[in-house]
Amino acid sequence: MSAPGIPYHRTITVGEFVSDYWPKIEDICDQIYRNSSPGQLAFEPSYSLVYKCVCSQHQKRLLDNLMRVTLDYTQIVVAELEATNNDLEFLNLFANKLNKFLSAAEALSAVFHYLDRFYKNRSRTACKDIHTELLSVYRNSVHFRYSQRTIPLLEQAVASPFTLPPESLSCLARNLHIMDPSLVASHPGTFSSFVPPQSDSSSVFDLPSFVHDASEMPRLGVMDQDVFRGLKRSYDNDE
């Protein structure tokens, strides 16, 4: 089993995965989520690390660890939101964190593409795609936790022009729709201006077109699809 342009040499032991490979991958995940030093990331070496781990049958460890890192990140987001009492500051922070997460989820989906491919080739029912799994963690940990506060604040912002900049308001509404498409039906007056009508068959796990649309929107100063453009190599390919 090989991927174009990525030579594979030998099996990685569990010990090597734990002590050498996963720490590098975890650091990549942390950098993407925190967006602290995106210029130090490099897509091809990152993809190569994941590829080699999958070839050595560490796919479950990869998936479990990725979900754990994602859950840990959502707890950081929750702590920041909990510390914000002012409604407008909360709404701005919530919008920024959600937009940043969606961008990070796209980047991680690219890094873990070969893991995604492995599960899809083995069984279409064994695992949803990586992007959907990432969104599910954020949805359950953050979105549902704050929806009863966020939606009324969004409705107030829609009713009071320039409470938020128009592009920020549009981005937030569409990102919330990615998290929960049912919001269009439950709050049509709020979302109808920002989200094009969809058929009733749309579901929370059927979002590729919505995610693509969101990736084209203004990024409010957070990581976007350029995260992997012009990035220098920082991790040497291991043997």
Burial 36-45 (b: 16+ CB within 10 A, else e): eeeeebbbeb
pLDDT recorded at residue 166: 86
Of 109, 59, 89, nearest to 157 by C-alpha is 89
- Structure token pair of residue 229: 């453009």
The pLDDT score that the predictor gives to residue 172 is 94
Q: For residue 28, give the nearest of 76, 71, 65, 81 by alpha carbon.
A: 65
| pLDDT higher than 70, residue 80 | yes
pLDDT per residue as tens digits for the range 98-120: 999 999 999 999 899 888 888 77
**pLDDT for the residue numbered 3:** 53
pLDDT-derived band of residue 124, with 50, 70 and 90 as boundaries?
low
Asked if the model's pLDDT at residue 93 lies above 60, the reply is yes
DSSP 83: T
* 239 Cα distance to chain centroid: 30
Cα separation of 47 and 66, whole Å? Answer: 14
pTM comes to: 0.75
Contact, 90 vs 153, CB < 8 A? yes
130-138 helix and 87-111 helix, angle to the nearest 10 degrees: 160
Burial of 203 (0-12, 13-18, 19+ CB in 10 A): exposed
CA trace torsion 134, 37, 84, 133 (10° rounding): 0
Write down the mean pLDDT value for the chain: 79
Tokens of 97: 């964190």
CA dist 90 and 5 (Å) reads: 46
Q: Work out the pLDDT band at 127, boundaries 50, 70, 90.
A: low
Q: What is the tens place of the pLDDT at every residue in 29-39?
A: 999 998 755 55
Tokens of 108: 């991680």
Q: How far is CA 23 from CA 30, 39, 147, in A?
A: 10, 19, 34
pLDDT at 216 over 60: no
